Amino acid sequence: MNISEKKGIALMLTSVLFFAIHILAAKGLALHSSQCSIWQITLYRGISGICVVLLFFSGKGLRWKSLWTRPRLIIRGILGGTALAFFYLTIIELGAARAMVINVTYPIFAAIMAAAFLGESLGLRKLLWIFMGFIGLVIFMGPEALTHGISPYDLIAIALAVLSAAVVVIIRSLHNTEHSSTIFASQAVFGSLFVLPMALSEPVLPDFSLITLMFLVGIASAIAQLTMTFAYRLLEVAKGSSLQMLLPIITAAGSWFLFQEHFVLIEICGGILTLLSTAMVARETSKKTALVASPQPTNS
């Protein structure tokens, strides 16, 4: 293992840690105060993200003008911001662990979309793992569905996985012309604009400490996303995706410890099958596309 790969692994593990902190803290804030709504959380995350990219990437790849002139960046921002707001809704309503397990299936949908829109190959083994991933998801959701029925929030979580897959496909097409900071900024900007009317219609946060915590939660998310982006410049997709599979596990452990969320054995087995299948889909995708580290464009 060379120094570059070790650095990539360290960055990816940092990303996983900060994503878990962000998700658990966002749910904790929502439970702690009714004024920390999904609209407020999304708005402060977007503002925090904008501050981070302006502070660290102005003049170093960030192309602010592109956010308003390039249609794919605008679409990426609108879809990503919309998905983010409703992702917080599923975390609050389903629990952080359950929402994460469902949402993390997006690489399965992304593989199908990439084949349809980017011309990527869908081999037999990849199709098999996609099928197994759906089986695992059915097993995971089965006990809750049989007891209480499929809730609207389960359907929203599945729809978000599909939407996240569409965003990933768009991001992949953007990486040839746009710097990572510009792609990230599109979600921060348009996500903030999307939730701004709803956030402004609610009472202003009265407590300065709550405002500070909201910003810190948003900064944790920005760190997570940016470290993940740069980690993928140093790691193969298969290895990076495998490390990202730690996120639902860490989130589930944190949810059990902090919020007393729990699963029965068959749900755990279904979740493990889904996570394994998702990791294998990502592995097969990396074999087909042979993605390697490449310099970030700065003048497009």
DSSP element (H, E) containing 150: none
Q: Judge whether residue 11 has pLDDT over 60.
A: yes
Spell out the alpha helix ranges (H) of 104-207. 106-117, 124-148, 152-174, 180-200
Q: Which of 126, 106, 224, 227 is nearest to 169 (CA)?
A: 106
Cβ neighbours around 76 below 10 Å, total:
26
**What value, to the nearest 5°, has the Cα angle with vertex 105 and ends 124 and 45?**
145
- The number of residues in the chain equals 300
**Residue scoring higher pLDDT (155 or 280):** 155
pLDDT digits (tens, 9 = 90+) for 49-94: 999 988 888 878 788 888 888 888 899 888 888 888 888 888 888 8
Domain borders along the chain are: 3-289
3-class SS at 58? strand
Residue pair 185/81 in contact by the 8 Å Cβ criterion: no
pLDDT digits (tens, 9 = 90+) for 144-155: 666 766 788 888
Distance, in Å, from the CA atom of 265 to the CA atom of 277, rounded to the nearest integer, reads 18
Structure tokens at 101: 């397990």
DSSP state of 296: P
Residue 16 half-sphere exposure toward CB, CA atoms < 13 A: 21
CA distances 64 to 175, 224, 225, Å, are 16, 21, 18
